């Protein structure tokens, strides 16, 4: 197949195993031609990450192997240069070769890429024996053994030594149960219950739960069932519990809600479901899993995610360096190849034989307790999004407030990335409340000192300055949601609250007084002020190109503006967005003050929100 070209909408069906394998081979061939003559790796660009150019080339090669090894193990590598793959592995692990990948040091990026070699040994050990000599095999094992002697961060990296030891065990080499027990003890320490992990202590809960913790756990549970049956059963049980929460992150068209870091790994979003098909979990039918994987694949091939060479770019729906992390190199996106684990399954496997099924019918609002989120299936507006209490990590990731701190994240609208703290146009004001000291330098919610997530609302308390206290509630409705803020400030502030961002059309600038509408994409976004006792001005903020992670052009954000004097203020907005026509309702929600409570009248219900400090 010809490499995918940027900007074109792919017509790949992606319905059968042959379709998926052909797609992987297309991605593989586009990259394979850029093998680096100066290293056992692949050189895809001139961006140099914190771990250097040479390791970046090794990373590009190794991340492809997440798809290569399942193809080899499935005995379908006829059109791939398998011998050349193993030649690079032999060179990279030979200390006497000029292309040697090198000796490890503590917290080394090369530790990350070792994991796939362990998985390769477990899945395709016979091919290692076929293509590597006895000396080359000895070199590989010695190189992998280094992982026992270095320090690793206390996060999802704890699974990498486990994957390596698993591979050594299943391929008949010297392995260490002590290392496996040691790192599983760490992983158990990160387990929060109900299927969820934290990515280390005081670290976020995001897609790493699915594409790292449970992905590796399911591989281990399938492959090490004879050696470690009790632990393997526990890992499958955890994954089965997690699956029922994780289902909610996907829309009916296959798109996932973008949230958190490492979004450039793209369809690694469904790596968990591929591992679930491989290992087997309870409670989610094979047809549902198949539909989740293939619909997500089909959504992604419609995005402009490749460059003219056909190689994946750093970005999300298109090339966008603003979304990158400091650990992203040009080949980093190929971690998405983890989702190709399904290619190890033969065509008689239930995953391939069972017809695709749609998502199961779920309640309109799903509470994800450990991420402090409410997923809103707004079927009237055909809008799938989540309301978010926010997370903050000990490490300051790039654009952290944009990736973790907004009030809402949408599979339909994506979200905007901040370009500058100065000037509202560059501030990614969508789905957030921003405040400035009337000097155009804005602050939003970064961390919360209190947080409560119920089935009806999310509450957070936060202070952008030490003398500014904000209590915020996010409340899903039948149509859209309410955003409520009780603000106590000792300083004068300018406030700007934004709704969902809409890509601008070629028809000119939008109307500032009505909903933002884009007929080309069949999208609308609306925010209406219903604050008791004050009125905010409507406006539209135009964000620069490449601000939004899904739509590459400029986007418009409907906003409400208000100057706040020192004192107490109650700001309330009804936020509605989606596809098709804007829904009008006969009676807007209403908020009243009753002593130390806010009374919220909506959807034939009354909610009492406590605004006192007691």
Phi and psi torsions of 323, nearest 5°? -90, -10
Distance CA 76, CA 68 (A): 10
Q: Which residue has the tokens 């908020």?
A: 591
CA-closest candidate to residue 102, choices 163, 184, 41: 41
Distance CA 152, CA 200 (A): 12
Quote the pLDDT of residue 2.
Answer: 38
Quote the pLDDT of residue 393.
Answer: 77
Distance CA 463, CA 444 (A): 9
DSSP 242-279: HHHHHGGGB-TTSPBPP-SS-GGGGGGGGHHHHHHHHH
Q: What is the mean pLDDT of each run of 10 residues along the chain (614 residues)?
A: 42 90 96 92 90 95 98 88 96 98 97 99 97 98 98 97 99 98 98 96 91 99 98 98 98 97 98 98 96 98 96 97 94 98 97 96 93 96 97 84 96 96 94 96 93 96 97 96 97 98 77 80 94 94 96 96 97 96 82 89 87 75
Whether the Cβ atoms of residue 381 and residue 478 lie closer than 8 Å to each other: no
Whether the Cβ atoms of residue 516 and residue 542 lie closer than 8 Å to each other: no
Whether the Cβ atoms of residue 159 and residue 221 lie closer than 8 Å to each other: no
Quote the pLDDT of residue 18.
Answer: 96
∠ Cα 92 125 338 (to 5°): 75
Domains of the chain with bracketed CATH = 17-353 (1.50.10.20), 365-610 (2.70.98.70)
DSSP 100-138: ------TT-HHHHHHHHHHHHHHHHHHHHHHHS-HHHHH
Mark out the alpha helices in 400-534 (DSSP H runs): 400-404
Token pair of 165 as six digits: 């030891």
Q: Could you tell me the CA-to-CA distances from 165 to 101, 148, 169, 360, 586 in Å, in that order?
A: 20, 9, 6, 38, 63
Quote the pLDDT of residue 394.
Answer: 74
Q: Which residue has the tokens 């592995």?
A: 89
Quote the pLDDT of residue 130.
Answer: 96
Distance CA 574, CA 559 (A): 11
Name every residue whose Cβ is closer than 8 Å to that of residue 400 and which is 6 or more positions away in sequence.
392, 393, 446
Segment 456-465 long-range contacts (CB within 8 Å, at least 24 positions apart): 456/607, 457/374, 457/607, 457/609, 458/372, 458/373, 458/374, 458/387, 458/388, 458/389, 459/389, 459/609, 460/389, 460/390, 462/390, 464/435, 465/491
Quote the pLDDT of residue 509.
Answer: 62
Quote the pLDDT of residue 362.
Answer: 86
Distance CA 526, CA 557 (A): 9
């Amino acid at each position: 197949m010809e490499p995918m070209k940027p900007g074109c909408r792919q017509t790949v069906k992606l319905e059968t195993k042959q379709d998926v394998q052909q797609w992987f081979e297309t991605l593989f061939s586009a990259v394979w031609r850029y093998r680096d003559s100066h290293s056992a790796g692949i050189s895809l660009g001139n961006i140099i990450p914190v771990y250097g150019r040479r390791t970046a080339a090794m990373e590009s090669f190794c991340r492809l192997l997440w798809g290569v090894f399942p193809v080899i193990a499935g005995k379908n590598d006829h059109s791939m240069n398998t011998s050349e793959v193993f030649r690079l592995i032999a060179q990279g692990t030979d200390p006497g070769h000029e292309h040697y990948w090198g000796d490890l040091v503590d917290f080394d990026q090369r530790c990350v890429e070792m994991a796939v070699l362990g998985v390769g040994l477990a899945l395709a050990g016979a091919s290692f024996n076929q293509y590597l000599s006895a000396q080359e095999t000895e070199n590989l094992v010695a190189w992998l053994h280094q992982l026992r002697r270095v320090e690793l961060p206390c996060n999802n990296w704890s699974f990498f030594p486990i994957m390596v030891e698993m591979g050594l065990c299943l391929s008949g080499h010297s392995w260490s149960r002590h290392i496996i027990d040691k790192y599983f003890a760490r992983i158990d320490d990160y387990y929060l219950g109900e299927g969820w992990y934290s990515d280390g202590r005081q670290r976020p809960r995001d897609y790493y739960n699915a594409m790292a913790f449970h992905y590796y756990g399911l591989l281990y549970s399938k492959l090490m069932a004879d050696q470690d049956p009790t632990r393997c059963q526990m890992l499958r049980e955890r994954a089965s519990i997690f699956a029922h929460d994780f289902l909610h992150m996907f829309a009916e068209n296959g798109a996932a809600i973008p949230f958190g870091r490492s979004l450039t790994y793209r369809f690694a979003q469904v790596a968990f479901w591929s591992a679930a098909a491989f290992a087997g979990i309870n409670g989610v039918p094979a047809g549902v899993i198949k539909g989740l994987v293939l619909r997500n694949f089909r959504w992604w091939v419609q995005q402009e995610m490749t460059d003219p060479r056909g190689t994946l770019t750093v970005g999300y729906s298109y090339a966008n360096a603003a979304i990158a992390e400091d650990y992203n190199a040009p080949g980093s996106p190929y971690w998405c190849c983890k989702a190709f684990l399904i290619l190890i399954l033969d065509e008689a496997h239930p995953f391939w034989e069972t017809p695709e099924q749609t998502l199961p019918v779920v309640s309109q609002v799903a509470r994800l307790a450990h991420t402090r989120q409410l997923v809103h299936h707004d079927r009237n507006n055909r809008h799938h999004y989540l309301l978010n209490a926010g997370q903050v990590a000990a490490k300051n990731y790039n654009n952290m407030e944009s990736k973790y701190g907004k009030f809402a994240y949408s599979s339909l609208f994506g979200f905007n990335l901040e370009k500058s703290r100065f000037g509202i146009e560059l501030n990614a004001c969508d789905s957030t409340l921003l405040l400035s000291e009337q000097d155009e330098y804005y602050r939003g919610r970064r961390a919360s000192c209190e947080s409560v997530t119920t089935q009806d609302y999310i509450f957070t308390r936060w202070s952008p300055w030490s003398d500014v206290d904000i209590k915020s509630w996010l409340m899903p409705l039948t149509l859209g949601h309410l955003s409520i803020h009780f603000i106590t400030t000792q300083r004068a502030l300018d406030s700007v609250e934004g709704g969902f961002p809409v890509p601008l059309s070629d028809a000119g600038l939008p109307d500032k007084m009505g909903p933002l509408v884009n007929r080309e994409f069949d999208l609308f976004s609306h925010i209406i002020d219903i604050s008791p006792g004050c009125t905010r001005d409507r406006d539209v903020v135009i964000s620069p190109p490449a601000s939004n992670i899904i739509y590459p052009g400029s986007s418009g954000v409907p906003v409400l503006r208000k100057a706040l004097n020192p004192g107490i203020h109650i700001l309330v907005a009804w936020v509605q967005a989606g596809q098709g026509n804007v829904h009008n309702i006969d009676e807007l929600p209403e908020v009243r003050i009753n002593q130390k409570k806010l009374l919220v009248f909506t959807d034939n219900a009354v909610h009492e929100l406590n605004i006192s400090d007691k």
